[in-house]
Amino acid sequence: MKVSSPVGDFPFAIDAVQLRDRRLRLRGHMGAWPAEVELEPRDLLQLPPQIRWLLAGGAALALIMFGRGR
C-alpha cells in the first residue's frame, strides 16, 4: 500500500489486522513511523461499491472465524 502526502509518498506495511469494537484495525508502519488505520462500518459507505462488498464480506468472514472481536 502507498500513502501519498504533501511531504512525499510512503509505503504502508501491515503488521497486524484486528477486529475490535466493530472496527477493523490495520497496524503497521508508514515509512519509518508506526501507523494505524481504523475503519468503522460507516466508512464503508465512502468506498466504491466493488471494494465495499469485498471489505464487508471479509469483515463478516473475520467475525465468523475470530468471534466478534475477542
34 alpha carbon, distance to own chain's centre: 15
**Of all residues in the chain, what percent carry a pLDDT higher than 90?**
11
- 19, 69 in Cβ contact below 8 A? yes
In angstroms, the CA 45 to CA 33 distance is 28
* H/E run at residue 26: strand 23-30
Nearest to 33 by CA among 17, 9, 16, 10: 10
**pLDDT tens digits, residue range 10-23?**
898 988 888 888 88
pLDDT of residue 67: 63
Confidence band for 34, pLDDT divided at 50, 70 and 90:
very high
